[in-house]
Amino acid sequence: MTGTPYPGARRPDRQRFVDSDGIRLAVWEWGDAGGIPLLMAHGGFDFAGTFDVFAPMLADAGYRVVSWDHRGHGDSEHSPLYSWHADLRDSLAVLNSITTAPIPMIGHSKGGAVLLQLCEARPHRVSRFVNIDGMPSRFPAPDVSDHERSRMRESEIASWLDRRRRSADLMRKPGTPAELAQRRGRMNPRLSDAWLRYLVSVGAREDADGWRWKLDPIMRPGGFGPWRPDWYLERLPGFPVPLLGILATVNEQMGWGTAKRDLEDRLPRNAELVEYPEAGHFIHIEHPRGVADLVLDFLS
C-alpha cells in the first residue's frame, strides 16, 4: 500500500474485497470508518489510486470515501468479458457493501458514465451525484461513429473473435517505471512526470522481466461494450438526483470533448454544469483542491 512519494498523495486507509457475480473486486477506503459514506468510480484504464490526492481532501472533511478497481483494472480480477452493464453491476455490489441508505457519488470519465446509469437504475440509493468530465456529448468522435456503422461487419466480428482467442497468451509490454510513465504521458501530456511515476508505483506490478500496468491486456479503448452518448442525452432532462457536472476546457486524447453549450438545453432543474478553466480531462488530478472545494460545497 505504499507508493513513490508525491505531494499530497495518501494511500487508502483500508483495503477489502467484494464479490460481484464471481469477480473479486478490490475496494479501497480513505477516512474514518464511521464517516459519511461517499462512493467514487475511476475512469477507464485507471485505478482507484488515481484518487490518492483528491480522496484524502474529501476524507479530511468527514467523508468515508470508498472506491474500487474496476474489473480488469488494478488489483481486481480479470473477467472473460467486459461490458458497461457488468461495471454497473459491480458498482451496485460495492454500494451494497457500504450501506442501503442513499449516499453521494462521484465518477470520473467512464466511471462517471457508469454512475450516471446507476443513478437512473437506483435513484433511491443516491443523494447527490458529481460527474467529472464524463458527461455525454451529442457530438461523438468521428472514429466512434465510423466504428458504429461497421460494428456488425463480418471482418470486425472476426477480428474481435481472433483477439479473444489470443487473450490467454496476451501480456502487456514490460518496461522500467520511467518507461511506463513515459507511455502514459503520451495519452496524458498535461500530467506531470512526478504524478505519472507515482501512478506507476500504485497501478503497475514488477515482474521478472520488468514492470507492467495492472490492466487486463484484452482491453482496448472503446472495448467496454455497447454505449452511446445519445442514450443518456435523451434521458438527461429527467435525471432523478441533484447533479453537478464538472467539464474540462482543454481537449485531450482520453477526454470526452463535452462542452457546457452541448448540454444546457438538456439539463433538469436540479443540475449544474461548471467548465473548469485551463483543465484537461483529469481535472481532479490537475486541480485537486479546487475540484474538492466545488464538490464539498455541492454536497453540503
147-157 per-position pLDDT tens digit: 554 555 677 66
Distance CA 245, CA 228 (A): 18
So what's the pLDDT on residue 143? Answer: 44
Distance CA 125, CA 54 (A): 23
So what's the pLDDT on residue 218? Answer: 84
- Tell me if 276 sits within 8 A of 247, measured CB to CB: yes
Nearest to 69 by CA among 59, 79, 56, 61: 79
So what's the pLDDT on residue 169? Answer: 67
Q: For 39-54, b where at least 16 C-beta lie within 10 A, e where not — what string? A: bbbbbbbbbbbbbbbb
DSSP the chain: ---S--TT----SEEEEEEETTEEEEEEEES-TTSEEEEEE--TT--GGGGTTHHHHHHTTTEEEEEEPPTTBTTSPP-SS--HHHHHHHHHHHHHTT-SS-EEEEEETHHHHHHHHHHHH-GGGEEEEEEES----SS--HHHHHHHHTTT-HHHHHHHHHHHHHGGG--PPPB-HHHHHHHHHHH-TTS-HHHHHHHHHHHEEEETTEEEESB-TT--TT-S----HHHHHTTGGG--S-EEEEE-SS--TT-----HHHHGGG--TTEEEEEPTT--S-HHHHSHHHHHHHHHHHH-
Q: Up-side HSE of residue 11: CA atoms within 13 Å toward CB?
A: 12
Residues of the chain predicted below pLDDT 50: 1, 142-146, 149
* Burial (0-12, 13-18, 19+ Cβ within 10 Å), 226: exposed
With cell 510513465, the residue in question is 181
- Tell me if 181 sits within 8 A of 199, measured CB to CB: yes
With cell 458497461, the residue in question is 84
CB atoms within 10 A of CB 254: 17
Domains and CATH numbers, the chain: 14-145+224-299 (3.40.50.1820)
- Tell me if 256 sits within 8 A of 134, measured CB to CB: yes
